[in-house]
Structure 1
Amino acid sequence: MAGRILVVDDAAFMRMMLKDILTKNGFEVAGEAENGLRAIERYKEVSPDLVLMDITMPELDGIGAVKQIKAEDPNAKIIMCSAMGQQAMVLESIQAGARDFIVKPFQADRIVEAINKCLK
């Protein structure tokens, strides 16, 4: 089942890489954002099925963005992405409402698996 996905990462290169993986695997990129504040705006605009959210970003980090999105839409499906596989951040993301956590550098099959599991 193809899902509409919002890609959030402060690095344009990472967004490009993710969009490439998503489109090659039959997902639709509903939009993208470069920070947490923009992610919240874009979420309201495009109503994606799922959000791939980076943790470390300027203006508002991913955890703050997850909390705000979940406050407005308790059913929001969000998967966190970070280069830091730190336990505390993983735990904080899950407590904030994220469904899963993917560590960079990304492996395409892990992303697809996490998205499919989340969209079921």
Structure 2
Amino acid sequence: MNIEIGKKIYKLRKSKDMTQEKLASELGVSVAAVSKWETGNSLPDILMLCSIADFFNVSTDELLGRDKNKKKVIIVDDVEFIRNSLKAILAGNGCEIVGEAAEGNELLDILKRKKADLIFLDINMPGMNGMTALQNVMKAYPNAKVIMCSAVADKEVIDSAIELGAAAYITKPFLPDKIIEKVNII
């Protein structure tokens, strides 16, 4: 386990283009400590693990490798009740909700800070609507997996969303089983 945590710290440090010296300085530890963590010769204590997770904006579960099967999800809908319903369904089925937004611009801001395996996206929202948000997401993150979740059941709209890159389309009102089925196949 030490070596897996060390590899994760190393990858996170490299993703920020940091030296061991810079990371040590940021965390208030010696360069030797960072080197020992990255080689698996020692583990950071629990407080330092939390500090490292906060510094790199990841969960401690992710740092410890305990989230391998959890899909990270962002939910975008202007109706709080719908967001809460989706959160309950998804979290109850092993997903980690890493963000939620009420419109497309908020989604784009979240994606600058957080990685997601899956995005649930409504169409009719104030500000940036779901179709425009989908276009922007697919342009900036071409591998993104987006499930459109909307009350709009028009075949043309559904086809258009799929053409723009949506991985799936679910109409409201949705059934929890339908949500989980889509999550499991995407």
TM-score w.r.t. length of structure 2: 0.62
Alignment match of 1:35 (pick from 103, 108, 111): 103
Higher helix share: 2
Kindly indicate whether residue 137 of structure 2 is the aligned counterpart of residue 69 of structure 1.
yes
Of structures 1 and 2, the one scoring higher in RCO (CA 8 A, sep 6+) is 1
Q: Which has the larger radius of gyration?
A: 2
Percent identity over the alignment is: 38
Q: Distance in 2 between matches of 1:112 and 1:98?
A: 17
Segments of structure 2 that go 5 or more residues without pairing to the other structure are 1-68
1:3 to 64, 71, 79: 71
Q: CA shift at 1:42, angstroms?
A: 1.0
SS at match of 2:124: coil
- How many residues align? The count is 118
Q: Secondary structure at the match of 2:183?
A: helix
1:37-81 deviations in whole A, cap 9, x for unaligned?
Answer: 111111222111110000111111111101101111110110001
* Aligned equivalents of 1:51, 1:67: Cα separation in 2: 13
- Distance, in Å, in 2 between the alignment partners of 1:81 and 1:49 is 16
User: What's the CA shift for 1:2?
Assistant: 2.2
TM-score, normalisation: structure 1: 0.95
Structure 2 residue aligned with 1:105: 173
